[in-house]
Amino acid sequence: MSWQTYVDEHLMCDIDGLGLHLAAASIIGLDGIRRHHYKEDRASLVFGIYEEPVTPGQCNMVVERLGDYLIDQGL
């Protein structure tokens, strides 16, 4: 599987119409057992939402690398 296919099928999703909303708890990074990490630049905002057994470091690495990839692609 190519990197682009992986991103398209597993890491990207449409938000419109799915009822997904960011609450205040999400912004500070903790909502019960779920946590998040985000990376932003001038053109995008990448969120990683995770639960155990994923660690903060693992989520951080994936989100940062995906953000860097999008920047490198000019997206």
- Confidence label for 12 from pLDDT (cuts 50, 70 and 90): low
pLDDT at position 4, please?
75
Q: Using one digit for the tens of pLDDT, what is the confidence trace for 16-26?
A: 556 655 454 43
Buried b / exposed e along 45-62 (16+ C-beta atoms within 10 A): ebebbbeeeeeeeebeeb
Average pLDDT rounded to a whole number, residues 46-58: 84
Q: Do β-strands 30-31 and 45-50 pair in parallel, antiparallel, or remain unpaired? A: unpaired
pLDDT at position 40, please?
77
Q: Using one digit for the tens of pLDDT, what is the confidence trace for 28-42?
A: 466 667 777 777 777
Sequence ranges of the domains in the chain: 3-72
Q: Using one digit for the tens of pLDDT, what is the confidence trace for 54-74?
A: 888 888 888 888 888 888 887
With 50 as the cut, is the pLDDT of residue 27 above it?
A: no
